[in-house]
Structure 1
Amino acid sequence: MNNQILSARLTLTKVALPDWDLIRSIYSNPTLMEHIGATMSDEDIRRNFEKELAPWSLESNHWLTWIIRETDSGSDVGLISICTRNRETLTAEVGFIILEGFKGKGYATEAIRRVFDFAVDTFGFKKFTAVCSEEHAASRRVLEKAGMKLDKIVPESTEIAGKMVNDCFYSLEK
């Protein structure tokens, strides 16, 4: 599998050992995790990070994660991941986190579209899903710009920071 995916402005590189500090900074940042869940301990982050370093296939239960970087500057923009959700229907879930200084530039939409194309071409995925909290308007806009459709809103589905939030379930068939 190719460890790098290129788009017009971005280079997506499969997560690797040197990315530890970035991954740790993302999952321990309360602002970045505000709409995702609780910040994680170093131990939990390390456990997930080590899973994501492992080889990935359709049968894997862990996320396939890429670091998103600006091609021109090499600056870290965030991360994007996919995980197989249904092997029979070739369905993958996508998730992403964009660092504060890079939001609003269309990077998340560009990365998602490119990952969808890569996942279809490389693994044969036919459907993609995503979940985000109803109040996270920016993520909802990104998913919709990437071509995903809102399937349903489930009230009080997930607890984030001690509060139950409504989850929006999106999908896209390729």
Structure 2
Amino acid sequence: MSFFFKSASLSFRQLKNSDKELYISLYTDPIVMQYIAEPLSKTTAARMFEAQLKPWGVKSTHMLNLVITEISSDLDIGVCGVVTRSLLSKQAEVGMVFLPEFHSKGYGTETLTRLSKYAFKELGYNKLSGPPFPSNKASIKIMQKSGYKFEATLRQNQFLNGKYHDTPFYTLLKDECTYLD
């Protein structure tokens, strides 16, 4: 199965071997990783990259990683993805990371709305979720602008900077999504 789709300013395609440098630069960058986890070493990021190249289907336990390309410049600017959390109830978690120079350009909302639409219509999910880090106000705003609703607080859900953090849990249901048409 080939994974490719577009939005107004961006295109999305499945991760491939030639994306290794982009992937490593994202996951080793302290700015990119500040709300996710400690930045990875280049060796760990390279190992993680190789694991993400396996074929993907909704039954997969690894994330479908999609490279985000800015159409106007043809530059690869980030990675987004979806991973199944419950096959029975058709639930998945979404995520995205961008190179720092592409932060605050509106691409987060454009990516999340287009990825959500694709996940509902093409991949058959019924519920999408995301647990943004509580101090990542930009990510929370993106989720809200994309129609995601606060559902719960996950207690001590994330370990970062030497301590546990509660994380807000945002979800979007297929029948509540206003941009599927």
Q: How would you bin the TM-score normalised by the shorter chain? A: over 0.9
**Which whole-Å deviations, capped at 9, do the CAs of 1:40-79 have from their partners, x for residues lacking one?**
1223212221221111011100000111111110122211
> How far 1:155 moved relative to its partner?
4.2
Structure 2 Cα separation of the partners of residues 53 and 69 of structure 1: 18
SS at the partner of 1:124? coil
Structure 2 Cα separation of the partners of residues 101 and 124 of structure 1: 33
**Which whole-Å deviations, capped at 9, do the CAs of 1:84-108 have from their partners, x for residues lacking one?**
0000111110011122111122111
Q: What do you get for the CA RMSD once the two structures are aligned?
A: 1.3
Structure 2 Cα separation of the partners of residues 44 and 74 of structure 1: 28
TM score, norm. by length of structure 1: 0.94
- Whether contact under 8 Å (1:152, 1:168) holds in the other structure is yes
Structure 1 Cα separation of the partners of residues 115 and 100 of structure 2: 21
Structure 2, unmatched stretches of 5+, are: 175-181
State the one-letter code of the partner of 1:98.
Answer: F
Number of aligned positions between the proteins: 174
> How far 1:112 moved relative to its partner?
1.3
Structure 1 Cα separation of the partners of residues 103 and 121 of structure 2: 28
State the one-letter code of the partner of 2:95.
Answer: G
State the one-letter code of the partner of 1:136.
Answer: N
Match in the other structure for 2:19: 19
Structure 1 Cα separation of the partners of residues 44 and 171 of structure 2: 29
Structure 1 Cα separation of the partners of residues 14 and 155 of structure 2: 34
State the one-letter code of the partner of 1:116.
Answer: S
- Whether contact under 8 Å (2:26, 2:98) holds in the other structure is no
Match in the other structure for 1:137: 137
State the one-letter code of the partner of 2:146.
Answer: A
SS at the partner of 1:144? helix
> How far 1:124 moved relative to its partner?
0.8
Structure 1 Cα separation of the partners of residues 127 and 155 of structure 2: 24
Match in the other structure for 1:163: 163
4+ runs of 1 displaced by more than 4 Å? none
- Whether contact under 8 Å (1:4, 1:12) holds in the other structure is yes
Structure 1, unmatched stretches of 5+, are: none
TM score, norm. by length of structure 2: 0.91
Match in the other structure for 1:91: 91
Matches of residues 51-70 of structure 1 in structure 2 within 5 Å?
51-70=51-70
- Whether contact under 8 Å (1:134, 1:153) holds in the other structure is no
- Whether contact under 8 Å (1:92, 1:127) holds in the other structure is yes
SS at the partner of 2:131? strand
Matches of residues 68-79 of structure 1 in structure 2 within 5 Å?
68-79=68-79
- Whether contact under 8 Å (2:3, 2:13) holds in the other structure is yes
